[in-house]
Amino acid sequence: MAGQSRKWMILVATIWIQAFTGTNFDFSTYSSDLKSVLGISQVQLNYLAVASDLGKVFGWSSGLALLYFPLWTVLFAAATMGFVGYGVQWLVITNVISLPYFLVFLCCLLAGLSICWFNTVCFVLCIRNFPANRSLALSLTVSFNGVSAALYTLAYNAINPISTQLYLLLNALIPLIVSFAALIPILRQPPLEPLPPDGVRRDSFMFLLLNILAVLNGVYLLLFGSKTSGVTSARLLFGGSILLLILPLCLPGLVYARNWYLHKVHSSFRLEGSGFILVDVDELEIHKGMVTREASFDGYQLLNDDVVLRTAITPVQKSFIEDENNRSCCSNLIRRNQLGMLGEEHPLFLLLCRSDFWLYYIAYFCGGTIGLVYSNNLGQIAQSLGQSSETTTLVTLYSSFSFFGRLLSATPDYIRAKFYFARTGWLAVALFPTTVALFLLASSGSLSALQAGTALIGLSSGFIFAAAVSITSELFGPNSVGVNHNILITNIPIGSLVYGFLAALVYESHSTAGSKTGSVICMGRDCYFLTFVWWGCLSVIGLASSVVLFLRTRRAYQRFEQDRIASSMLYS
């Protein structure tokens, strides 16, 4: 019983870590000041943003560190890197010390690397303590990474809503403080115990409660995250956000009271239809019994490593075979080297030879990565449109809608019983708002268009970031997801460099020299008009790639779902 309580405390600690370590999302709030102090060009400022994203290239180092050091040391190593990386930048921006540009670049790189190390710690905590429903735990905790900018804005308004330099100090200190707060639950991790049949159902109910609390957090931050009515009210609002993050600590009490919930509430509240773990107990037992058949080529591997054996050909599968002679040339291109089944492990060489991977890579590169680069440039975008006073509001808006997008990424699994759609299809749907937003921003420079575009891009990119791990696992194998996903996200620093450099060139071509520092400043719609047009065209390419990926993989998803249903009927 105590072990069950401690695992939920670990999940809450993981939520805290994620909520306060998405420090790269508030770069746009202080980027203009950093540019002015260093006296650098827009291109050089873009390189600093790239340095932060470049930390993801070295994210593998955190996994290597875990092979030789305990988890808590990796956690504090991440906190130390962030403390040094952001702390030195704060000393520079406040003119306490003066450093050459190259050393500031290295500090940005170190700060970005710390975020990857924090993420690795959180992933390991979820996988170790929730092996049966790690997908639900991961999707929930990763979602909170999207609210970091909104939380830091509340903290900024509560302390000193005048100097944006404060963001760097908060970025340095708060993750370190949260690491100390999370230390006790991490050190008291319970031994791994197999869940009883009713344990999965009980945990499902707990995750629903946590998702409800997460939605309340998101709505609260969206409504109050950028209020600047006064320091006193800002402090009360920040206290309310902390209270909402502490509230999940009541979960251990719910674990102790599980009998009451099971008999009075949960017995009449059936949870079915999730692609992760919200399954009927009988279906769970079927999956357990079929693990021994993993060697069968005709098996499909679930995200929790259970295997569902293919049964006789279903009518849907038969229709695929009957239509093979009626394919057009375009369809033949779609079917070439098509994915045969979900969950097949792809080592590095096979992954790089797979057309589906490169379609997926392009879709991510021309979708979610554009959203991230947009957030990095949000400060300059607002400034160029004469909306500098709205920067913190826009950052909060992006952060909140990114959070909602991450939460929505789990929706397909909850509604699978009523409406089944391949996850790659949901990826294509999620990319569409980015395209709409970018052309909206290109067509209008009004504040309402800026707010709407920021919200749409945040929603879209948040969904993509959270769904990417699941898609990688399904298409290219759950056992290889660590390596394969790290290869996928190499597109982020590449995109940050390319897209940011493109935006900086357009910006500087319409800019004038600043009066004091010599840094360039651009005012007017022309500063980012061509950038939005180019980004919009590139997002269309990403959308097209995601549609082709969906067409190439939908048969594998449909076969998997048909076989899951058939096997459930067979063993029920």
Residue pLDDT, tens place only, 266-301: 454 444 444 343 333 343 333 334 433 444 444 444
Indicate the pLDDT class of residue 80, thresholds 50, 70 and 90. very high
Q: Which of 14, 4, 66, 44 is nearest to 245 (CA)?
A: 14
Q: Are residues 117 and 14 in the same domain?
A: yes
Residue 484 has pLDDT above 70, yes or no: yes
Task: Supply the DSSP symbol for 520.
Answer: E
Domain membership of residue 269 (yes or no) is no
- The more confidently predicted of residues 331 and 555 is 555
Q: Are residues 245 and 360 in the same domain?
A: no
In sequence order, the β-bridge partners of residue 300 are 308
Indicate the pLDDT class of residue 196, thresholds 50, 70 and 90. low
- SS3 for 163? coil
| Measured distance CA(260)–CA(266) in Å, rounded | 9
Domain membership of residue 345 (yes or no) is yes
Tell me, what amino acid is at 252?
P
| Measured distance CA(157)–CA(109) in Å, rounded | 27
The helix or strand, by DSSP H or E, that contains position 300, with its residue range, turns out to be strand 299-301
* Single residue among 258, 284, 303 that ends a domain in this structure: 258
Residue 308 has pLDDT above 70, yes or no: no
Among 321-335, 363-377, 392-406, the range scoring the smallest mean pLDDT is 321-335
Convert the pLDDT of each residue in 228-268 to its tens digit.
667 788 888 888 888 888 888 776 566 556 555 555 554 54
* Single residue among 196, 228, 258 that ends a domain in this structure: 258
- SS3 for 512? strand
Domain membership of residue 315 (yes or no) is no
Q: What is the mean pLDDT of residues 219-231?
A: 72
> Cβ distance 480 to 346 under 8 Å?
yes
Q: Are residues 241 and 371 in the same domain?
A: no
Non-local (6+) Cβ contacts of 400 within 8 A are: 146, 147, 150, 218, 221, 222, 225, 458
> Cβ distance 458 to 399 under 8 Å?
yes
Non-local (6+) Cβ contacts of 105 within 8 A are: 47, 48, 51
Torsions phi, psi for 307 (to 5 deg): -120, 130
Q: What percent of the chain has pLDDT over 70?
A: 76
Q: Are residues 236 and 91 in the same domain?
A: yes
CATH code, 150? 1.20.1250.20
Domain membership of residue 47 (yes or no) is yes
Q: Are residues 235 and 350 in the same domain?
A: no
Domain that holds residue 423: 339-568
| Measured distance CA(263)–CA(320) in Å, rounded | 46
Domain membership of residue 194 (yes or no) is yes
HEC profile for 187-212? HCCCCCCCCCHHHHHHHHHHHHHHHH
Domain membership of residue 158 (yes or no) is yes
- Residue 553: CA atoms inside 13 Å, Cβ hemisphere, count? 29
In sequence order, the β-bridge partners of residue 309 are 299
Indicate the pLDDT class of residue 433, thresholds 50, 70 and 90. very high
Is the CA virtual torsion 4, 276, 250, 217 positive or negative? positive
Residue 176 has pLDDT above 60, yes or no: yes
Mean pLDDT, the chain, integer? 78
**Tokens describing residue 25:** 């999302």
Domain membership of residue 287 (yes or no) is no
- SS3 for 308? strand
Residue 368 has pLDDT above 60, yes or no: yes
Among 59-73, 223-237, 283-297, 521-535, the range scoring the smallest mean pLDDT is 283-297
Q: Are residues 469 and 356 in the same domain?
A: yes
Domain membership of residue 298 (yes or no) is no
Q: Are residues 343 and 240 in the same domain?
A: no
Convert the pLDDT of each residue in 404-416 to its tens digit.
888 888 777 667 6
* Single residue among 258, 284, 305 that ends a domain in this structure: 258
**Tokens describing residue 267:** 């017995």
- The CA–CA distances, whole Å, from 549 to 235, 385, 412 equal 47, 37, 18
Q: Tell the burial category of 97 from Cβ atoms under 10 Å away from its Cβ (0-12, 13-18, 19+).
A: exposed
Rg of the chain, C-alpha, whole Å: 24
- The more confidently predicted of residues 554 and 516 is 554
pTM score of the predicted model = 0.75
Residue 440 has pLDDT above 80, yes or no: yes
> What's the structural domain count of the chain?
2
Tell me, what amino acid is at 60?
W
